[in-house]
Amino acid sequence: MQLLEYQAKNLLREVELPVPEGLVLRAGEPIPEVTFPVVVKSQVPVGGRGKAGGVKLAQNKKELSSIVATILQLEIKGHKPECVLVEPALNIESELYLALRVNRDKRRVEYIVTRNGGVSVESHAEEVRVVPADEESYLQVAEILQLEAVAVKKMCQKFMTIFHDDDCLLLEINPLIVTKDGDIFCADAKIEIDDNARFRQENLGWTETSNLKPLGGNIGVVANGAGMAMSTMDTIYAAGGKPANFLDIGGGTGEDVFVKNLHKITDLPNVQSIIVNIFAGITRCDEIAKGLIAARERIVDLPPLYIRLEGTNRDKAVELLAEAGMEVLPSLQACVEGALKHV
Ligand code: GDP
Ligand code: MN
């Protein structure tokens, strides 16, 4: 998950990295009293906002109000912002680039550094330097950025703290601004959190992305793999039925995955039955069975399930489900025939 700039900056602020004191403004909120000039920044989870017109300077209240309105309406790379960030404008001397990222191929965390930061950093690719992250890397980073080693050492330690504590894959400051007064500010921040670490980063405000697409029919579908999901739907259509949804649950097997998704399907209008068609390769049928049993127990109005399970630990799953009074059918065809009885 990529954090929005203001969320990323909140993490920087927590470790006392220098960030401009901004405020977040949502549609409909009154324009606040601020000291001008300010910079107004679209809060969308993509880069290149500057070039797309999503970062603008405002010199007075009238300008601010018109820029805020414009940016809130401006779609950037398919994203419309929920809010803008308003910050005191910096008096820029130079724009540097500093990032920390996980390099999977080299199995290490490394700094990406260049003195030529800003919106055109990609066009200076040949000047970009890579420094493996360790206790001493601040020396090289300071040299490349032409900043004082003591200041860079503190900054690098703080970046490292965030990087580890928040399970980051990327922490990018572009630009890292040096002002005409010689102060340093993280003027933009892009932080990517490892999705696999969600269980210990729940406080970061994860956005729900749903793989479930409603289709208006009355037979709910749970399948794993897009191919399996599509062939399940083809089989339903071929038999004269109508699927209520498309859903590829992927490799997820946890109880919560089944309870959550079966809840969503049950909540769709007119669902009379649900076909569960799963091939367990890496996943295991008995885990899936536990998920289905939990769903049966927890979802009061769950419609009848028609279950086909193949693959690893199928026998164990059949046993578990039988104990709970649930049946595994021999084929998808049998599931579709069962589901059509409720239509
Ligand atoms: P991005 O284009 O999505 O990476 O958005 P940035 O936050 O990096 O902003 C793009 C550019 O706007 C920066 O490279 C700066 O040149 C400029 N910019 C950002 N903040 C300020 C500011 O406070 N003052 C001034 N003068 N320019 C800024
Ligand atoms: Mn930037």
Instruction: Report residue 6 as tokens.
Output: 């203001």
> In angstroms, rounded to a whole number, what is the distance separating the alpha carbons of residues 75 and 42?
9
Query: Residue 211's pLDDT is what?
Result: 78
Query: Residue 77's pLDDT is what?
Result: 83
Element spanning 87, H or E: strand 83-88
Residues acting as catalytic residues: 97, 172
56 lines ligand 1 (CB under 6 A): no
Instruction: Report residue 41 as tokens.
Output: 């920044």
Query: Residue 253's pLDDT is what?
Result: 67
Instruction: Report residue 58 as tokens.
Output: 């405002």
190 lines ligand 1 (CB under 6 A): no
Burial 143-170, CB ≥16 within 10 A → b, else e: ebbebeeeebbebbebbbebbeebbbbb
232 lines ligand 1 (CB under 6 A): no
Query: Residue 209's pLDDT is what?
Result: 65
Query: Residue 279's pLDDT is what?
Result: 93
Query: Residue 122's pLDDT is what?
Result: 86
Nearest CA to ligand 1 atom 12: 50
Widest CA span in the chain: 77
95 lines ligand 1 (CB under 6 A): yes
Instruction: Kindly identify the ligand whose nearest atom is closest to the C-alpha of 88.
Output: 1
Nearest CA to ligand 1 atom 11: 50
Q: Which atom of ligand 1 is nearest to the CA of 87?
A: 23
List of the chain residues with pLDDT < 50: none
> What is the per-residue DSSP string for 32-59?
PP-PSSEEEEE--SSS-TTTTT-EEEE-
| Radius of gyration of the chain from its Cα atoms, rounded to whole angstroms | 26
92 lines ligand 1 (CB under 6 A): yes
Query: Residue 107's pLDDT is what?
Result: 97
Residue for token pair 């199928």: 314
Q: Best of 85, 96, 119 to mutate for ligand 1, by most ligand atoms within 8 A of CB?
A: 119
Instruction: Kindly identify the ligand whose nearest atom is closest to the C-alpha of 5.
Output: 1
Identify residue 67 by its one-letter amino acid code: I
Query: Residue 235's pLDDT is what?
Result: 97
> In angstroms, rounded to a whole number, what is the distance separating the alpha carbons of residues 41 and 61?
16
175 lines ligand 1 (CB under 6 A): yes
Nearest CA to ligand 1 atom 19: 187
Note the pLDDT tens digit of each residue in 270-320: 999 999 999 998 889 999 999 999 999 999 999 999 999 999 999 999 999
